[in-house]
Chains A and B, each alone.
Chain A
Amino acid sequence: RKEVEQDPGPFNVPEGATVAFNCTYSNSASQSFFWYRQDCRKEPKLLMSVYSSGNEDGRFTAQLNRASQYISLLIRDSKLSDSATYLCVARDNEKLTFGTGTRLTIIP
């Protein structure tokens, strides 16, 4: 089983819709989590950290469920510019483990 697992997609979603995807992690000792976005053939960029209480940044909401060992990302009012691959990351001390990413395409 992969340490950090994501549905690869692709998710094809109409513009303006709400989309959510989850990421599961197997290491219960993971201390913190992040979401990155990666555009095609570009470097990953930090989207947001994920806090235990959940956190929101504009149209983006991240949640953490430690009991079930998953994190989620919700995107509201999706824009064409949200099309990207979203990478889930779990941290255990100095080690970051990246998921393979979920590909999202927003359709006009």
Chain B
Amino acid sequence: DGGITQSPKYLFRKEGQNVTLSCEQNLNHDAMYWYRQDPGQGLRLIYYSQIVNDFQKGDIAEGYSVSREKKESFPLTVTSAQKNPTAFYLCASSDRVAQPQHFGDGTRLSIL
């Protein structure tokens, strides 16, 4: 079945540690996105990529980094510079940028 796979489902980070969230899609979509969702808030865009080897900052990119070396994969690194990383992280993809997006089932990141 085609879809988007995020891993891990739950992740714990120690202070000062970088962690990487995985996102893989087999939908052959060109565009991929990372959002974070905090309680009572809407989804906020961290980074997006329209094509392999290209990505743009979203509204809250500080403290995060991404890469897009393969069409299927768009990993997100939460760096130690992100001071409030506890959130629900959602990866999405779409056939083209800003077309309806399909979401993975998310990663919950918490601080130890």
A95-B98 in contact given A42-B105, A43-B90, A45-B103 (Cβ < 8 Å): yes
CA distance A94 to B50 in the complex (A): 9
Q: What is A's interface to B at a CB cutoff of 8 Å?
A: 4, 8, 34, 41-46, 49, 87, 91, 93-101
Q: How large is the interface on B (under 10, 10 to 19, 20 to 34, 35 or more residues)?
A: 20 to 34
Cβ–Cβ < 8 Å partners of B48 in chain A: 94
* Closest A residue by C-beta to B48: A94
Q: Which residues of B contact A95 (CB under 8 A)?
A: 45, 98
A95 CA to B50 CA, complexed, in Å = 12
Taking the nearest CB of chain A, how far is it from the CB of B18, in angstroms?
A: 24
Give the chain B neighbours of A8 by CB distance below 8 A. 40
| Contacts of B52-108 to chain A: CB distance below 8 A | 88, 90, 97-98, 100-106
Smallest beta-carbon distance B2→chain A, Å: 14
Tally of A-B Cβ pairs under 8 angstroms? 42
> When the two chains form the complex, which single residue of A46, A98, A100 contacts B100, counting CB atoms closer than 8 Å?
A46
Seed contacts A95-B98, A96-B98; 6 additional CB < 8 Å A-B pairs: A34-B100, A43-B90, A43-B103, A43-B104, A44-B43, A98-B43
The interface of chain B, by Cβ under 8 A from chain A, is: 35, 40-45, 48, 50, 88, 90, 97-98, 100-106
Looking at the complex, which one of B45, B50, B105 makes contact with A43 (CB distance below 8 Å)? Answer: B105
Q: Point out the residue from A4, A44, A49, A99 that lies within 8 Å of B90, measured CB to CB.
A: A44
Q: Smallest CB-CB separation from A46: which chain B residue?
A: B100
Partner of A99, one of B35, B42, B100: B42
Residues in chain A near residue B44, CB distance under 8 A: 98
Residue of B nearest to A3 (CB): B42
Q: Whole-angstrom distance between the alpha carbons of A49 and B99 in the complex? A: 10
* Residues in A neighbouring B35, C-beta threshold 8 A: 98
* Listed A/B pairs (13) with beta-carbon separation below 8 Å: A42-B105, A42-B106, A43-B105, A43-B106, A44-B43, A44-B103, A46-B100, A87-B42, A94-B97, A96-B98, A96-B101, A98-B43, A100-B42
